[in-house]
Amino acid sequence: MRSVFFPRLVNGPFGDPALYVHLAHRGEALLFDCGDLHSLAPREILRLQSIFISHAHIDHLCGFDLLLRHFLYRDRPLRLCGPPGLIDRLEHKLAGYTWNLVEGYPLELVVAEWGEPQGRQALFRAARGFRREEETAISFPQGAMLATPDFRVRAVSLEHGDIPSLAYALEETLHVAIHKDALAAFGYRPGPWLTRFKELVRRPASSEQPVRVPLVGGGEACRPLGELVATIAHLERGMKIVYVTDASPSEENAEKIVALAADAHLLAIEATFADQDLDRARTRNHLTARLAGELARRAGAARLLVFHHSPRYQDQPQRLGEEALQAFQATGEPGGG
């Protein structure tokens, strides 16, 4: 499977949590948590469409001001999703600035809060001094905080001591693989039309939908969508990336994580403490590296990416990654903890 999501940790395993995911062929990106973002180039920040916050501890939200600074002049909305209380917190942050010179600025912030069975959503417009507007109740079918024809982002609420922390699954709706040899055999020229073709397949459109196909020798042909699917493509389960951080090492959390991350292509998960410091992990309501690896193995994840390491291990920078990988690759039943 060729990747359609390209994830990377913004600050490495010891820095503030922030997972940047570039969406292939779309010029867009998503961000999971919003720690320090200064290492992102302005063009990378401006690709962001939606931000997904796990919880409002400072190391997960301190990058918001930099985002706001870059987006002030943009004429498209920026969506932020997160746990209960996020609307109030962002309202307070926005109220900390003077907005007397923003008349006519186009930026709109749409903020959605998780809730069971209902959450809420509010709008903040730059042109109106970012006063809270249009607050409404909102539901999240099957946990989806964002759903498009191409992908969705589902959330589950985990316990992080006495507060909730949201974990997220980014799932491609359907993976449409293109056979380059078939394109060549039919004389079809690769190009942007293939992105439109994939969008029609995922929508899904009628098999009789005509698709304009540029030809290698010049000009174009018009082919039914169903014919193209049968001759130049095959369909398979979409790519899945799961993001988990700041979760107490409880069995209840473990069960939720394993369910969310089932068969993920990548599980990005915190590994804050070493297994020998499990008591401290319980006190601080974080996962150990061993637990992170075991959860990835129980979920059947294909790849594991660990982060949010405690600075106490900076003199042994490989330790937590190696411990997590050992548990991930182990055979037999995962151990207790």
**Which H/E stretch holds residue 212?**
strand 210-214
Alpha-carbon span 68 to 102, nearest angstrom? 13
Which of 71, 66, 64, 63 shows the shortest CA–CA distance to 105? 71
The pLDDT tens digits for 222-275 are: 989 988 988 988 888 889 999 999 999 999 999 999 999 999 999 999 999 999
Alpha-carbon span 52 to 240, nearest angstrom? 16
**Range with the lowest mean pLDDT among 53-62, 223-232, 289-298, 314-323?**
223-232
**Which H/E stretch holds residue 262?**
none
The pLDDT tens digits for 149-182 are: 889 999 999 999 999 999 999 999 888 888 889 9
Contact 17, 54 (CB under 8 A): yes
Q: What is the DSSP letter of 14?
A: T
- Report the predicted TM-score, pTM, of the whole model to 2 decimal places: 0.90
Amino acid at 1: M
Alpha-carbon span 312 to 253, nearest angstrom? 25
Q: What is the DSSP letter of 277?
A: G
Alpha-carbon span 289 to 275, nearest angstrom? 6
Helix, strand, coil abundance in the chain, percent, nearest 5: 30, 30, 40
Q: In 3-state terms, what secondary structure has residue 251?
A: helix
Alpha-carbon span 68 to 131, nearest angstrom? 15
Whose tokens are 């060549």? That residue is 184
Alpha-carbon span 157 to 140, nearest angstrom? 13
CB atoms within 10 A of CB 178: 17
CB atoms within 10 A of CB 216: 12
The torsion region of residue 115 among left (phi > 0), alpha (psi -120 to 50) and beta comes to beta
Alpha-carbon span 10 to 21, nearest angstrom? 10
The pLDDT tens digits for 166-222 are: 999 999 988 888 888 999 888 989 988 988 888 888 787 788 889 999 999 888 889
334: pLDDT confidence band, cut at 50, 70 and 90? low
Residue 333 has pLDDT above 80, yes or no: no
The pLDDT tens digits for 84-142 are: 999 999 999 999 999 999 888 999 999 999 998 899 999 999 999 999 998 999 999 88
CB atoms within 10 A of CB 30: 25
Contact 132, 124 (CB under 8 A): yes
Residue 71 has pLDDT above 90, yes or no: yes
Q: What is the mean pLDDT of residues 38-56?
A: 96
What's the pLDDT score for residue 45? 96
Alpha-carbon span 170 to 158, nearest angstrom? 17
Angle (nearest 5°) at CA 82 between 79 and 84: 130
